[in-house]
Amino acid sequence: SGGVKADLARVLSNLGRASDAAAMYREALEVTPDNGRLNAMWGDALLVEGKPAEAMEVYRQAHEFGVRRLVGAARAAAMLGRADQARRIAGELMDTAARRYVRPEAIAQIYAALGDADSAVRWLDRAVEARSSLAYLNVDRVWVPIRADQRFREVVRRVGLP
Query: Cα(54)–Cα(69) distance, rounded to whole angstroms?
Result: 13
% of the chain exceeding 70 in pLDDT: 97
Look at residue 122 in the predicted model and tell me its pLDDT: 97
**pLDDT per position as a tens digit, 16-58:** 788 898 888 888 888 887 777 788 888 888 898 899 999 999 8
List per-residue pLDDT tens for the chain, 162 residues long: 667 888 888 888 878 788 898 888 888 888 887 777 788 888 888 898 899 999 999 888 776 668 888 999 999 999 999 999 999 999 999 999 999 999 999 999 999 999 999 999 999 999 999 999 999 899 888 999 999 999 999 999 999 998
Q: Which of 126, 101, 116 is nearest to 149 (CA)?
A: 116
Residue 54, pLDDT score: 94
Query: Residue 64: what pLDDT?
Result: 62
pLDDT given for residue 65 in this prediction: 61
* Number of continuous H segments (helices) and E segments (strands) in the chain: 9, 0
> Hey, how many other C-beta atoms are within 10 angstroms of the C-beta on 138?
14
Q: What's the pLDDT at 98? A: 93
Compute the distance between CA of residue 28 and CA of residue 32 in angstroms, rounded to an integer: 6
Rg (CA), the chain: 15
How far is residue 14's CA from residue 40's CA, in Å, rounded to a whole number? 15
